[in-house]
A and B are shown apart, each in its own frame.
Chain A
Amino acid sequence: MTLGAQVNLDEYRAQARRWLEENAPDEVIGVEEAKAFMARLHDAGYSGIGWPGQWGGQGLTQAEERAFAEVARDFRLPTAYFSIGLGMCGPAILDRGTDEQRRRWIRPLLRGEEIWCQLFSEPGAGSDVAAVQTRAVRDGDGWVVGGQKVWTTNAQYATWGLLLARTDVEVPKHKGLTMFAVDMRHPGVTVRPLRDMTGRAHFNEIFFDDVPIPDSDRIGGVNDGWSVAVTTLLHERLSISAGVGMSGQSENPASFEALRKAVDTADPLVRDQLVELYIRSQALHLFNQRLAQETKAGIFPGARGSAAKLLLAELTLFQADLATSLVGPEAVTGDHPLGFALSFAPGMALGGGTNEIMRGIVGDRVLGLPPEPRVDKTVPFKDLKVGTQA
């Protein structure tokens, strides 16, 4: 980067900060207000910063995109409603959609007019997402979909869903999948909130009952859906590392800083356990810093990001467990925030790839270890033991 570019980037940051100071909401806002905010964000040039201008993006670079994300961390932006579209569906459409699809979907996505959700996981296809059983069957010029999806964030607000469906059961499982955009407001789509172990409904489960999809809403080739899914998941990882939709991190009651105020540090055992928490937190913090510096220097961390995700899950479980134990009986009564932290913690170790999946990725792709022998790569899908299929 030249000195001139650096100066321009500093100026860009300063402008972004001024705009956010005037326009960012002060509190958590509802979906309709959030949509209006996204339209203003887009008008101001801060939605789709690195996305191509011809489809509604701002046509700038990753440098501006990152600069804005850094500034935005200091504000409470309502980007969560749009995070799936911005982080995964939109980039997948840009990569693999037709020009007609880009023209129809990208601008409304960036302006918050249409919210997207992602429909990959199923009750029988979690870690093994290529085992999805939701079927899309040819029907004249189009398709008809039947089946069930789960762990769907933002489905209750969504206009569109990016749907991974099975279109051929006679071929091995990765080779019989196709990606579609499905109209979430069709009467054959049922969205039910899924109450998770925290007692809240962060996700949904979705039922498809003969939902038609025109062939023009197919993204990528017939039976080429797995490669589109891989592209999408790659963008998910990229968007997490770039911090899209990661504004407004709330205070964690199980963090070292919170906990040191809540417990008696004169007790040497407590002191040592807090030191352990500090050590682990700092170790991960510094690892994340190093990955961020590498990314900034143009070195993409790739599968090493899975090590960071695994460590974050382990730390989240450890600190919620430790904090609850240190605080004692009051932590598990009266809606104590640590009760929620303890309930929430397993989610970190399950969502976005379980710890076991992460260890497999680190072992295979970072350390280059030999793969596990597999029985599911050559057998036709219909002959596999998978999901609810006997």
Chain B
Amino acid sequence: MNLLLSQEQRDLRAAVRSFLDGNSRPREGYDPAVYRRLGGELGLSGLIVPEEYGGAGAGYAELAVVLEETGAALLPGPFLATVFATIALTRVPDKELLTAIAEGRLVATVAQPPRDEDVRLEGDRIAGTLGRVLGGMEADVLVVPAASGDEIVMAAVELDDPGVSRTELATLDITRGQAGVRLDGARARVLGPRPREGILDRMCVALAAEQLGVMRAALEAIVAYAKVRAAFGRLIGSYQGVKFKLADMHCQVEQAESIVRYAAWAADESPGELPKAAALAQAYVGRACFEVARDHLLLHGGIGFTWEHDAHLYYKRAKADEVMLGPPRVHRTRLADLLEL
């Protein structure tokens, strides 16, 4: 098991961090120009795309490093959505779309209908309603499982098809949009049968990496504030009531990082351990991220409750992330099942 970053991975982190500093503007929403540079200059959209499809062929350890930074910077827009779609596309027989993703030309997303039969495929036409699609307004392509006869296949739908209608949703997390998507006889491309497993686990790992970044950045922000904000003649970070809470938050970040490194390692090197590691990652990191983001907001005092301060952006992102792949209890239940409890 390897839980440490290599020199190359640390270099990658530094490069991404330096790019996002100034280029990630959470309140301004999706900026296609920034995404073109992320995909082009930095090659991040093709990070886990196999080399034969024009990607870097890197692993989840590298992906986790990148997502930690996009999370810390609250990068707005469909980056995580495209990562999710990439994960799905690497695990179906027809991987053609990966080339355009690797080149940074294609924004993609993935959705899971409430029930498998809610999206149906007849011939090359797809129909169904998806209530909440991550990055649904920005994405060019939607990857979605669909019932086709007796089997479930993975299908790709171009979202500018006349048979698609999209409705932008109001989202608690203003940095990341969602859309309601209605498929009404849109043209679909069948990518192959839905893989029995592996996609959701890897999405759990990817999301946990982003959550680690969110909680790390939240802790750094409040630690920095505690070193400059004074009350009753002292810097607030010198009060045990503040310091001890920050120490506990640090402990949560340390454990979260350890779990994310482990889960990413399992995805790369030890697939047998992945299901448990992925469920653990969401069960621990999802919760810890929200708690740290919440306490970082509270420790800011009144300023943390204002719209102009960024604290609420972290708080809301943390909650939106915690419930993104289902209510937190689903990960705990999955863990219980995998532990044969």
Contacts and interface: CB of A to CB of B under 8 A. Distances in A.
Contact of A279 (B3, B258, B261, B284): B284
A185 B293 CA distance: 57
B290 interface: no
B121 to A, nearest CB: 37
B258 A286 contact: yes
Given A369-B237, A369-B238, A307 B250 contact: yes
A284 B240 contact: no
Contact of A297 (B4, B235, B335, B341): B4
A306 to B, nearest CB: 9
A282 B341 contact: no
A368 B332 CA distance: 35
B247 A275 contact: no
Interface string A265-306: 100000110111011001110110110011001000000100
A297 B235 CA distance: 36
B223 interface: yes
A312 B147 CA distance: 49
B253 to A, nearest CB: 9
A360 B239 CA distance: 10
Nearest to A358: B247
Nearest to A367: B223
A199 interface: no
Contact of A362 (B4, B242, B250): B250
Interface string B198-237: 0000000000000000000000000100110000001101
Nearest to A296: B4
Contacts, number: 120
B332 A370 contact: no
Nearest to A260: B341
Given A272-B332, A275-B335, A293 B244 contact: no
Given A356-B244, A363-B244, A370-B235, A278 B3 contact: no
Contacts of A366: 247, 250
Given A290-B4, A293-B4, A360 B240 contact: yes
Contacts of A307: 247, 250-251, 254
A372 interface: yes
Contacts of B1: 289
A115 interface: no
Contacts of B339: 260, 274-275, 278
Interface string A368-381: 11111100000000
Contact of B283 (A275, A297, A360, A368): A275
B257 interface: yes
A286 B283 contact: no
Contacts of B243: 359-360, 363-364, 367, 369, 372
A303 B261 CA distance: 21
A23 to B, nearest CB: 31
Contacts of B257: 290
Interface string A342-359: 000000000000001011
A241 B153 CA distance: 51
B275 to A, nearest CB: 14
Interface residues of B, number: 37
B146 interface: no
Given A290-B3, A367-B250, A272 B336 contact: yes
A284, A294, A363, A372: most-surrounded residue (chain B CB, <10 A): A363
Given A293-B3, A370-B227, A310 B341 contact: no
Interface in B287-341: 332, 335-336, 339, 341
A284 B238 CA distance: 27
Contacts of B335: 275, 278-279
Given A286-B258, A360-B243, A373 B283 contact: no
B2 interface: yes
Contact of B247 (A283, A286, A310): A310
A contact residues, range = 35 or more
Nearest to B256: A283
Contacts of B284: 279, 282-283
Interface in A7-56: none
B248 interface: yes
A307 B251 CA distance: 6
A311 interface: yes
A381 to B, nearest CB: 24
Contacts of A297: 4
A128 to B, nearest CB: 15
A333 B234 CA distance: 51
B246 A274 contact: no
Given A359-B247, A359-B248, A279 B227 contact: no
Contacts of A363: 237, 243-244, 246-247
B247 A265 contact: no
Which of B235, B258, B283 has the most chain A CB atoms inside 10 A of its CB? B258
B255 A311 contact: yes
User: Quick one: which of B223, B234, B235, B335 has the most chain A CB within 10 A?
Assistant: B335
B336 A373 contact: no
Q: What are the 10 closest A-B residue pairs judged by CB atoms, nearest first?
A: A363-B243, A369-B237, A362-B247, A286-B258, A283-B255, A359-B247, A290-B3, A359-B244, A370-B238, A287-B258
Interface of A: 260, 265, 271-272, 274-276, 278-279, 282-284, 286-287, 289-290, 293-294, 297, 304, 307-308, 310-311, 356, 358-360, 362-364, 366-373
12 contacts: A275-B332, A275-B339, A275-B341, A282-B280, A289-B1, A289-B3, A293-B2, A307-B251, A359-B243, A360-B247, A370-B234, A372-B238
Given A276-B332, A287-B254, A372-B243, 13 more contacts: A272-B336, A274-B341, A275-B339, A282-B259, A283-B255, A283-B258, A290-B257, A293-B4, A294-B4, A308-B254, A356-B244, A369-B237, A370-B227
Interface of B: 1-4, 223, 226-227, 234-235, 237-240, 242-244, 246-248, 250-251, 254-259, 261-262, 280, 283-284, 332, 335-336, 339, 341
